[in-house]
Amino acid sequence: MTEYIVHHLHHLRWPREDGFWTLNIDTLFFTFVLSALFCLLFIGTARRAKVENPGKLQSFIEMVVVFVDGLVKETFHGTSKLIAPLAVTIFGLVFLFSSASSSCSTSSTCCRSTCCRPRAMPRA
Nearest to 91 by CA among 121, 65, 112, 59: 65
pLDDT of res. 101: 77
Per the CB < 8 A criterion, the answer to whether 32 and 93 are in contact is no
Please report, for residues 35, 48, 59, the alpha-carbon distance to residue 39 in angstroms, rounded to integers and kept in the order given.
6, 14, 17
Q: What is the pLDDT of residues 2-17, one digit of tens each?
A: 777 776 656 677 877 7
Q: Residue 45 forms beta bridges with which residues?
A: none
Strand partners, 23: 14
Report the C-alpha gap between 80 and 18 in whole angstroms: 41
Residue-wise pLDDT for 43-82, tens only, equals: 999 999 999 999 999 999 999 999 999 999 999 998 888 9
Tell me the pTM.
Answer: 0.66
pLDDT class of 107 with cuts at 50, 70, 90: very low
